[in-house]
Chains A and B, each alone.
Chain A
Amino acid sequence: MAPCATHEWTLTEAARLLGEPQHRLIYLCEKGVVQPDLEDAQGRGSSRRFSAHNLLEFAIALRLRVLEIPAPSIGAITYTLRAFAHQVQRHLPDFGLPYSLRGAGAPDLRVLIKDGRLYLTLGTGKDTPKVYGGIDLQRLRRGKKSAGDLQRALVIRMPAGRKLGHGTNDDFGESAGARVELSVTRIAQELRLEV
């Protein structure tokens, strides 16, 4: 049965759907990468309840953790995706993650980390995807424990001449630096949300 947009999952249910041990999800919560939408843990024994958006955040974060991306950097990504969703909802009130990326013909939203910089790309498959960002993730401090600490850790010191920008994927062709890329759209579409 498909869940409605307001459905919530317990930690146990989320771990089962994602096929991950609970402690990995708890780690991401404690690092501030995923903040339970519906009820945060207020202490030992209290329960977290997660939205479908949270499940998407977990799925993205778990994949990036496998690629050894530090938690603060992943937190910056989940923060940006949440801000993106809020911005889109101002124009398209029915928009919501992950559901709006699960339909046929949904744009391909991708996270790209190259040379320590965060980019997001968006395209339809018909045109060359546009690239946004260029945020220096290496400036993020590590080892923060709470969401508040994580947000306080988001330090930006843009080198001279570096600007936030956008372009096309072709612009990445010549650099040989480390590159991590994942499709948020694909993760959203593969996310198991059965109730």
Chain B
Amino acid sequence: MTVAKARVASAPLESEPTSDSAADAAMMALLDHLAEELAREYVRLMEKAAEGIDGDTSR
């Protein structure tokens, strides 16, 4: 599976947590990063769709 090769996560996510709180922070950061990437793509798709609508109405 090649998915994991596509992008490098922030450095702290790869380090072994030394405590529960460190582990919590690492996991939360990982999930937040996932959400951020997804949100960026969602916004891109919405902007692309809006451009399409604008393009149609300008004809």
Contacts and interface: CB of A to CB of B under 8 A. Distances in A.
Interface of A: 76, 79-84, 86-88, 90-92, 105, 107, 109, 118-120, 122, 124, 130-135, 151-152, 154-158, 161-167, 171-172, 174-175
B23 A132 contact: no
16 contacts: A79-B31, A83-B31, A84-B39, A87-B39, A88-B42, A92-B43, A109-B38, A118-B34, A120-B34, A122-B42, A133-B34, A135-B34, A155-B27, A166-B3, A171-B2, A174-B1
Contact of A87 (B2, B27, B36): B36
Nearest to A155: B23
A180 to B, nearest CB: 16
For the residues of B in contact with A, the DSSP-based class is helix
B1 A175 contact: yes
Interface size class of B (residues with CB under 8 A): 35 or more
B14 A158 contact: yes
B17 to A, nearest CB: 7
Nearest to B21: A152
A154 B3 contact: no
Contacts of A86: 35
Contacts of B23: 154-157
B2 A167 contact: yes
B20 interface: yes
A25 to B, nearest CB: 23
Contacts of A154: 23-24, 27-28, 31
